[in-house]
Structure 1
Amino acid sequence: MSLSIQEQVSLRSYNTLAIDVAARFFVAVQSLEQLQAALAWAEQREIAVLLLGGGSNLVLTADLNALVIHLQLRGIQVLSEDADFAQVEVQAGENWHDFVQWSLAQGLSGLENLSLIPGNVGAAPVQNIGAYGAELKDHLDSVLVLDRYTGQIQRLSNEQCQFAYRDSLFKRESGRRVILSVIFKLPKHAALQLDYGHLRSYLAEQQVQQPTAQDVSRAVCAIRAEKLPDPKQLANAGSFFKNPVISAEHAQQLQENYPNIVSFAQADGQVKLAAGWLIEHAGWKGVRQGDAGVHTKQALVLVNYGGASGQQILELAGQIQADIKQRFAVELEIEPNVITG
């Protein structure tokens, strides 16, 4: 099979942080056969591989001595449906937000709280993306993968994906499995989640008394657009830090010192803190160091004003982590995947 493999390709337009590093080799694949051929090409030459989708959750720190495979697998198919649910298979290269909007247009719900999250469908299970009280795992049935160790195609159930907060089997065993498609089980009768963030108050302000899933999606889009920069306008990788989870005792101590701290009780007795509140309270919101900065409206987002390198973004992140640890005794974990070359 003929592959159009290019050399020394800039990845600036392939990652939402707009980090300008070069891939030694680059190829776009639109089919499973092309993907298998690209992987074989790299294996024969003993060249490392980086699989790239929408590039929305990456920090690239150096030129890559690797074959970068840009996954462009496309297609959405309803596998089965009954009066209550539809099982839908979505190829990895489909844009996530476009798929959410497609599902809503079909009268399906469950993904409305995840509207406007950047990136492609194939990357969503890696991070177990989540927002406004919902997570991908809530409506994921299974994932079709190519196991690079065995060469076999497997369908992994929700349980086998080992989902956790911004974590999964795919993240813990990075590079082993190529996500080909994701199968969702989406309800036809909405059970809306409105009690996280400003959703309920926003809908009330808009005088939406009996919201639909589409109303929730529109509200999420409006709230995100107000607080989060569009990567096409200001380069960023979305939320840069995970919300830390701490013990109830530690949380109680912090609440005594900081009565306005934003926290959420967890089912296991622990407490999740809002990383954005910690960073903003520490004075980092709007800080800029060269072309690397903290967004002026959302302290959880680090941005590239034009010429920042991945290393400069990480240096700023490291300063924030050290300050938060010193002030609050809380460890902040970086959410995007850091690629060192």
Structure 2
Amino acid sequence: MQASSIFNGYIGSHLCYHLGKSGIFDLFNDAEKIDIKTLTDNKNNEQKSSLFKSLIDYSLKFGLFEQDQHEKLSLTTLGKDLKKNVGFFTWAVGGYGDFIKNFTSINPDNGESFYSMVDGGDVALGSRQANRAFMWDTVVAEFDQQDIKNIVDLGSGNAGALINVCKVFDGVNGIGIDISSKAIVEANENILNNDMQQRITVHNQNVLDAIDDPALGEKFDQVDTVMSFMMMHDLFNAQDPVKVLRKLRTTFPNANTFFIADTFLSDEQQLDADTPIFSYGFEYVHHFMNIKLFNKEDYEQYFVEAGFEITKVKYLNVPNTYLYVLK
């Protein structure tokens, strides 16, 4: 790798993030070609038209789009790859961008914290985008083999996973728990927009506080399925991992199945051109936030010690990321 590739990659990462946040990438979900004029001829918002034109211009320079003689855009091979992976850019640039830029200047004596520099909404959105692109078909196939009526999502983010579960499986109700107030605001908007307010409720709490909240005890008693995607490492840093898992078992006494997915510590020792997307970013931010990551074997040991039976282990098409189905 060279300095130029790292620098240009930094600029390109932000460009990819904005193509995702602006909705431009989503326009290619149902069409192979997009008319440039539909993006830039916004009579009611000249600033937005100018912004879209600039994004298109630089996407062409970066080789993400191709333009034909009729001023129609299509995604290049690189553009298609970035669109598929946009969740990782949302996570890194939007979710952890301020932290990555500012963590060396944090002064705990002034009440500053790492978490204040993390955008929980974009972390949740990026995780959900990556989930849909790489993991969700595998997860749904496993859900389909269970008899699910009431499910809780620990670290529910913007409620995207709960909404999808309730859409796919009639009669399922969901509860979401997330520490990010921004993610919960977005979750409530998504629930309303999808007409799921009678089936899904979300709570803005730390998961470890929520499982000790007597006000939620009656709801938790009805839960038959627990899922947690990409946050178990946070709980394992807050308390002893085996203690956390045993607490989950007693908090949800009627839960038959636990779906636990997380990203584990990689075995790679040095970054090179073949290093897969996400791995080093995930490890980088957690290292500087003083959050310990664990090996796959660690999780398996904790599950067994906590009294769970591991019935399935599924690779989720993201480096070092697996789904465990526990009984």
TM-score band by shorter chain is under 0.3
The structure in which a higher percent of residues are helix is 2
> Which protein has greater RCO, CA pairs closer than 8 Å, 6+ apart?
1
The structure in which a higher percent of residues are strand is 1
